[in-house]
Amino acid sequence: DTGVSQDPRHKITKRGQNVTFRCDPISEHNRLYWYRQTLGQGPEFLTYFQNEAQLEKSRLLSDRFSAERPKGSFSTLEIQRTEQGDSAMYLCASSLVRGSGNTEAFFGQGTRLTVV
Amino acid sequence: GEDVEQSLFLSVREGDSSVINCTYTDSSSTYLYWYKQEPGAGLQLLTYIFSNMDMKQDQRLTVLLNKKDKHLSLRIADTQTGDSAIYFCAESSLSGYSTLTFGKGTMLLVSP
């Protein structure tokens, strides 16, 4: 296992198209997070899963965004009817939560989305 | 809501020490983190500190936490050109301890 893997690394799409990104977390990790990072900003939290359950969603996650983690392993993030403002780096992270709490989240290299 | 502030840019010479500062507003922060991001890459966790600690040292990295002032710093000793990157401060709180709130990042430029 080499860490969190995201696919694709880059995506260019026309405005109005739908896009889907995939994240494969570190294999034993039960938590999976999605963040969005725009140019010159830090990452902003979008949503996270505990196993297959989506436990929290940011107000940044509009109705056009949907995330799934059907079997508690990989996750997909879909953006429908993309807008130019969706252009950003989409980062996935995973962590292992034990009874004592959660410490480290490991990040993937991200998917850079450009909407033209 | 939570807010994390950092200075945007720091320039040092190779071999000097670098100090990157961060302030946060959430008094319920439990963990505070430093991440490094190189151009076109994801985030690499450098170190973290639990809120009941005031200092943590890890090789060339020293983290200082002043919980009263909600101030966090990262000191890099003997800074190298390979340390040039953007450094993000982040916090997680009891209310959402699994999610991170990041600052905007400090760009560190190390010149030979």
Cα–Cα dist B92/B95, whole Å: 8
Q: What percent of chain A has pLDDT over 70?
A: 95
Q: Of A31, A103, A106, which is closest to B31 when you measure between CB atoms? A: A103
Those residues whose C-beta lies under 8 Å from the C-beta of residue A67, and which sit 6 or more positions away, are A34, A46, A47, A49, A54, A61, A75, A76, A77, A78
Query: pLDDT category, A102, cuts 50, 70, 90?
Result: low
- Report the pLDDT averaged over residues B24-34: 85
Confidence at residue B21, expressed as pLDDT on a 0 to 100 scale: 97
Confidence at residue A101, expressed as pLDDT on a 0 to 100 scale: 63
- Asked if residue A1 has pLDDT above 60, the reply is no
pLDDT digits (tens, 9 = 90+) for B31-75: 899 999 998 788 999 998 988 889 999 999 999 999 999 999 999
Query: pLDDT category, B1, cuts 50, 70, 90?
Result: low
Q: Chain B contact for A49, CB < 8 A?
A: no
- Asked if residue B93 has pLDDT above 90, the reply is no
Q: Chain B contact for A107, CB < 8 A?
A: yes
Q: Cβ contacts (< 8 Å) between B44 and chain A: which residues?
A: 107
* Cβ–Cβ gap A102/B97 under 8 Å: yes
Distances (CA, A) of A49 to A97, B6, B55, B80, B104: 11, 29, 32, 38, 25
Q: Of A56, A105, A108, which is closest to B100 when you measure between CB atoms? A: A105
Cα–Cα dist A74/A68, whole Å: 9
Cα–Cα dist B106/B89, whole Å: 9
Buried b or exposed e, range B22-39, using 16+ CB within 10 angstroms? bbbebeebbbbbbbbbee
Q: Of A40, A41, A107, which is closest to B42 when you measure between CB atoms? A: A107
